[in-house]
Structure formats: structure tokens, C-alpha cells
Amino acid sequence: MTSAAHNTANAWPAANDQTLQIRIDLAAAYRLIHRLGLDDSIYTHISVRLPGRQDRFLINPYGLRFEEVTASNLVTVDLDGNVVDDPTGLGINPAGFTIHSAIHAARHDAICVLHTHTVAGIAVACQKRGLLPLNQWSLQFTDCLAYHDYEGIALDLDERSRLVADLGDKFAMVLRNHGMLTCGRSVAEAFKLMHNLERSCRAQLAIQSSGAEVIELSAAVACKTAGQYASFYDAIETNGVPDSEWAAFKRMLERTDPDFAN
């Protein structure tokens, strides 16, 4: 681990319990994305809005791999990507935050924004029809998946308005020829959506490569399944039902990556 990352344990400014927890959850998401093989060297990002603020966000230091991210070395930035607090001195990736800032600014319900470049995700993003309703995982995204055309590396701030328009009120998006994006009312929701979106892409490629005849699912079944998933997430995010899956993922990290919460 770099010395900048190593020396930041417990270095963040005094914070309330809610802020501490969201730092820990964001660090957990970075570690999980690495554990599941969904990271891309030092690229792609996960950002989260700080509690009680519409203009402050946490994101990874640019140059650390995801398995090096901890709760204390996260960088605080404002909506324009200006660094407010950076324990590592590494700064952030401007191209990375262009996408995230656009969504955070337009969607106050998007507490967390998660973006990946995976082989499976990019392969599906390059297919004209995008994600297909082939299995239970992918049915979750029926009528809930947005698409945004590729415009080059995200350095052009003008792209933000088009990206936001394409996303609309949805919580998942295919960035064509680029990758996948999810947002959530919590870090946990954004992560779980990405976990299922990635598995949907992997399953689609496996089905397509098999050459076998595919069982077609009706639109009614697809919509019913999407509604079931939505009800499950709503129960957690709005009705206070405990998130057993997220808790289980974090218990795994306590065994494999015990420093993530430092």
C-alpha cells in the first residue's frame, strides 16, 4: 500500500455517527468491487453524498487501487469536483467525477453513484440491443434501465446534461461502448444493483456463446419480476427493513479486508 494511504487511519475530521457509517459503507463498496473482480486498475469510481449536504461528496483518491481504499483516506469534493479535504494528497480523477457530479446534481435521491468497466459489462454495452430479459437477474431491470451513447472520455462538461436526460428517473444505466452505472438511495442499494447488473451481463454472454435455443419470457412475467425486486428494495430503503445481504457482505470483508473501516 502506498505511504499516503497507509498513514491516514482515523485521520478524517470529527464527524457524527451517520457520516462515519457512510464512510465505512463506501470503503466497503470499493473493497467488494475489487473482491468481485469488477474494478479496472485505478479507474472507475464510487461516490456518495455526505449526510445533510447537497454539495459535498466522498470519492476515492486517484491513484489508489480499490483494495487500498479505507474509510479514512476518502477525498471530500464539492459539486464542481474541487477538493475540500484530501488526506492522501492524491486528488481525484476529473473525468471520473464528471459523470458522478452530473447525476448527484440532478438527482438528489442518488445518494451513491457507482460506475464500472468490466469485460462482461462492456461486451453487453457494445451490443445494439443492450441487456436482454433472459433470466431473473436481468428481469429486475425491465423498464428500469437507461442508455447513454458514447461521446469519448468524459472530460466534456457539456455531456453532463445529455447523460442526466438519458438517465431520467432510473437507477441503472448502460453507458454504450463504455460500461455500466448504478445509483442508489444508499451505498448498499447502488452496490447490489451493480452486482446483479454485472451477473446479468455475464449470464447473457454465457447464453449467447452456448448457441442453445433460449426460453422466451413474457412481458407480463418480466414486469412482475421487476416489481418484486423494486418492492424488496423499497422495503429496505424506505420502510426500515434490515438489509441482511449488505450486512453479510460486510461480514465477509471483516474477515478478508479487516482494514477497510480504518
pLDDT confidence of 113, banded at 50, 70, 90?
A: very high
Residue 190 lies in a domain: yes
In a domain? residue 61 = yes
Is 257 part of a structural domain of the chain? no
pLDDT tier for residue 152 given thresholds of 50, 70 and 90: confident
Cα–Cα dist 90/31, whole Å:
19
- Look up the CATH number of the domain holding residue 57: 3.40.225.10
Residue 251 lies in a domain: no
Residue with cell 463498496: 29
Mean pLDDT of the chain: 92
* Domain-located, residue 81: yes
255 lies in some domain: no
pLDDT tens column, 76-104: 999 988 999 999 999 999 878 888 999 99
150 close to 177: Cβ distance less than 8 angstroms = yes
How many domains is the chain built from? Answer: 1
Tell me which DSSP letter residue 11 carries. -
Per-residue confidence (pLDDT) for residue 166, from 0 to 100: 97
Q: What is the pLDDT of residues 171-202, one digit of tens each?
A: 999 999 999 999 999 999 999 999 999 999 99
Helix axes 94-106, 159-167, angle to 10 degrees: 50
pLDDT attached to residue 96:
80
Q: What is the DSSP letter of 51?
A: T
**d(Cα 64, Cα 38) in Å, to the nearest integer?**
15
Within a domain: 254 = no
pLDDT at residue 3 above 70?
no
What is the pTM for the complete model shown?
0.92
Shortest CA distance to 191 belongs to which of 6, 15, 31, 14?
31
- What pLDDT sits at residue 15? 61
Residue-range definition of the domain harbouring residue 107: 3-245
How many Å apart are CA 171 and CA 180, to the nearest integer?
11
- Is 261 domain-assigned? no
